[in-house]
Chain A
Amino acid sequence: MSKFDSGERDHAPTRLIRSKNKAATADAPTEHINQGHAGDKETVKIGSEQPTVNINQGQSSAGDAPTVNIKQDNVDFRPETGAMAGGNLNPASDSAAPAGRTSADKTVLVRRSADTAEQATVAWLVIVSGPGKGKSISFSYGLNKIGRDVSQDIALSFGDSEISRQEHASIEFDPKTRKFYLSKGDNLVYLNDERVGAGGEKTLEQGDEIVLGATTLRFVPFCGADFDWPASDS
């Protein structure tokens, strides 16, 4: 059974049924712009309150911001697990304090909850040729999807457009066997010049070369037969 056709609403993933298939029941409007619960009004009003324009002139100082732990270039949280938080502390005016320089490094917060600690490194991939040459990417436990989209576990976002955005290939470290496995995703991947076929995974060894698009990666394991992180560290 498709995972999309479960009948019970609370358990069913979101699904869409277009009106063209259901003309006999209740046609969806062609383009209906609903203006909110308050009926026809463009501005929703709750109760009888009037819109309040309240421009607060206060501005925080750097010392006010709790647990500021972001890096400016790249916040390293996982959208799947990470909690994040931030605030707009409303600089006095845009002209007095140009947007972005005002409070970017004071008030934007990205905090990890206790259960989203950085996962331990199990291996690295080093780009030995192609865009991003010389850069390395570490990865951790679980199935690591490789693609050029930044959402990927191993994001090769250095400009090689021959790499699929998502799931070009994937690598997994199996703590039971303490081995690494490379598998094909949506696009061609080669291990030491040999094609990795669909449904067939290949074991990775130190120094193996993986080719995706115009990029060649060298595999450098950290965990393996001689070492694995204790369960509590991972």
Chain B
Amino acid sequence: MQAIWSASQIQGGRDYQEDFLGVIENNSAIALGKKQLLEDGALPAHQSLYLLADGMGGMGHGDLAASTVVDVFMASFLENIAEGLDIRTSLRQALHRSNQAILDMITAEPEQSGMGCTLIALLWDSHLATVTWISVGDSLLGIQRDGRWLALNEKHIWRNLAKKKRAAGEVLDEEEIERIGGALYSAIDGSELSAIDQADLSIQQNDVIIIASDGLEVLSEDMIEQTINTSLKDAAEGVEINDAFNTVEGIRSSLFSGVEEQNNHHQDNTSVISIGFFNGLA
């Protein structure tokens, strides 16, 4: 199976961009505005790594946190793979190494304290036809399969945590939950990572995976599902690689169109990576 991706960002109504994207495949690392060639075999040719970090806080140092995490995560992940660690462990250690990098920076320059970011890192292995991800924070990872949208990662926001606590019979300060419900309880900010989401998923032909920053959340899950379905309906049939590119680009751009149609003057930075899985492209 072959994976084709398309990615881009909009700044929305913000005068800063705190989302950072990265991709490693075909022996190249694409991130932070550059494509770097890597040593042969740095990442096996049948694997691709996709990253998204959404920065926050620290007196405007969110972009520094997010770009650092993308940078450090990529380097650390490749080191871990080179050392022969399995995918899950490699992702996990790279996450902790990234968190340590933020702590080091805050220790050196305390005025950067409070900066941090979310992260989704997703590894595609075409031999196993499986994706493995690690996620911290509230960025969005989901899959469209057979016309249905399904969120894959757990969002580390207080509202979700409260839901679990309630289900477990705990009595909560509901006013407080209402007030802080949308805030994160876990992020890469140099502190202990209080929640990490990690899992595998086997991939089927014509699956579409979306990785996005929370700016996409102006669209409901139903709207995301509908937008992708509409986009897929318009997509050309066939196994031409050009058609595949047009399909994943069409999905990505129609999601952005959906965001723009919301006409939200305070629109957050929004980044989207759309990944389509195809068989027998030629």
Interface range, A side: 35 or more
The binding surface of chain B is classed by DSSP as: mixed
B83 within 8 A of A: no
- Nearest opposing residue in chain A for B157, CB measure: A9
B184 touches which one: A10, A17, A70 (CB < 8 A)?
A17
B225 within 8 A of A: no
A193 within 8 A of B: no
Contact A80 B28 (CB under 8 A): no
Contact B196 A64 (CB under 8 A): no
B162 to chain A, nearest CB (A): 5
**B252 surroundings in chain A (CB, below 8 A):** 83
Contact B200 A43 (CB under 8 A): yes
B233 within 8 A of A: no
Contact A98 B145 (CB under 8 A): no
Contact A16 B245 (CB under 8 A): no
B118 to chain A, nearest CB (A): 7
- Also in contact, A53 and B128, with CB within 8 A (given A37-B151, A43-B200, A87-B2): yes
Contact B4 A28 (CB under 8 A): no
B37 touches which one: A24, A72, A93 (CB < 8 A)?
A72
Interface range, B side: 35 or more
Contact A36 B197 (CB under 8 A): yes
- Also in contact, A28 and B161, with CB within 8 A (given A85-B248, A87-B5, A100-B40): yes
A108 touches which one: B28, B152, B154, B264 (CB < 8 A)?
B28
B170 touches which one: A4, A26, A33, A52 (CB < 8 A)?
A26
Please measure, in the bound complex, the distance between the C-alpha atom of A33 and the C-alpha atom of B196, giving whole angstroms. 5
B95 to chain A, nearest CB (A): 11
CB interface residues, B 46-70, toward A, < 8 Å = 46-48, 54-57, 62-64, 67
B241 touches which one: A12, A60, A99, A100 (CB < 8 A)?
A60
A216 to chain B, nearest CB (A): 25
B200 to chain A, nearest CB (A): 4
**A87 surroundings in chain B (CB, below 8 A):** 2-5, 25, 241, 244-245
Contact A54 B279 (CB under 8 A): yes
**B41 surroundings in chain A (CB, below 8 A):** 94, 98-100
B172 within 8 A of A: yes
**B214 surroundings in chain A (CB, below 8 A):** 14
Most chain B beta carbons < 10 A, residue from A72, A80, A99, A166: A99
A86 within 8 A of B: yes
B177 within 8 A of A: yes
Contact A86 B195 (CB under 8 A): no
B237 within 8 A of A: no
Contact A52 B35 (CB under 8 A): no
B166 to chain A, nearest CB (A): 9
Contact A75 B34 (CB under 8 A): yes
Chain A residues at the B interface, C-beta cutoff of 8 Å: 4, 7, 9-19, 22, 24-26, 28-38, 41-46, 49-56, 58, 60, 64-66, 70, 72-91, 93-94, 97-104, 107-110, 113, 149-151, 165-166
Top 7 A-B pairs, shortest CB-CB distance: A100-B27, A36-B199, A9-B182, A75-B35, A51-B202, A83-B8, A99-B45
22 pairs from A and B in contact (CB 8 Å cutoff): A14-B118, A25-B162, A25-B173, A31-B192, A31-B193, A31-B195, A33-B195, A34-B199, A36-B153, A36-B199, A37-B154, A54-B279, A79-B20, A81-B8, A83-B249, A87-B3, A87-B4, A87-B245, A88-B46, A108-B30, A149-B32, A166-B64
Chain B residues at the A interface, C-beta cutoff of 8 Å: 1-9, 11, 14, 17-18, 20-21, 23, 25-28, 30-35, 37-48, 54-57, 62-64, 67, 116, 118, 124, 126-130, 137-138, 143, 145, 150-154, 158, 161-162, 165, 170, 172-173, 176-177, 179-187, 189, 191-205, 214, 217-218, 241-242, 244-245, 248-249, 252-253, 264, 266, 268, 279-282
